[in-house]
Structure 1
Amino acid sequence: MAHMVFCAKYKQEMEGLDEAPFDSDFGHKIYNNVSKKAWQEWLEHQKMLLNEYRLQPWTPQAQEFLVEQMQQYFFGDGSTLPKEYVPPAAG
């Protein structure tokens, strides 16, 4: 049976992740409160942040920034877009 959660982003019961994304209290908070759908959307958002801010994900500064953005994305007012960001044209 699928792991079900009340998704913090969508505010409804949805299928959760198969396992915690990282072994920490925050990773378990995500496992218990974030749906697979919301997590996939975060991964796309994270790619955009990495590219727009030209982050090197192995650096502690980038990791700290991404965790802060993830906290806002799921449990706050939403992750902010870079000022210069232009979404790709739909097509």
Structure 2
Amino acid sequence: MSRTVMCRLHKEELPGLAKPPFPGARGEDIFQNISQKAWDEWQHHQTMIINERHLNMMDAKDRKYLMGEMDKYFAGEEFEQAEGYVPPSE
């Protein structure tokens, strides 16, 4: 049986990640408070941002920018959208 977390983004109890996505406090916070569903959604959105803005993940400035956008995303704040992106209607 998979572990569940009270997802900060979706505000409901959902299956959690199998392990922290990266080391440190930020990774542990995501592991404890973000569902697998929300993480998968972020991964998809992150790819759109990287492609749209031509980010170089070897560049510390670009990685820092992306981490900031991830924090905004999971906090439910305004975050970077790919130009012309329209979220799917539910």
Aligned to 2:60: 60
Counterpart position of 2:25: 25
Cα 1:86–1:49 shift into 2, 3 Å: same
The separation in 2 between residues aligned to 1:75 and 1:15, in whole angstroms, is: 19
Query: Percent identity between the aligned chains?
Result: 33
2:45 corresponds in structure 1 to 45
Structure 2, unaligned runs of 5 or more: none
**Which 4+ residue blocks in structure 1 deviate beyond 3 angstroms?**
none
Structure 1, unaligned stretches of length 5 or more? none
TM-score normalised by length of structure 2: 0.88
TM-score (ref. length: structure 1): 0.88
- What value does the CA root-mean-square deviation take over the aligned residues? 1.6
Shift of 1:76: 4.1
Aligned residue in 2 for 1:86 = 84
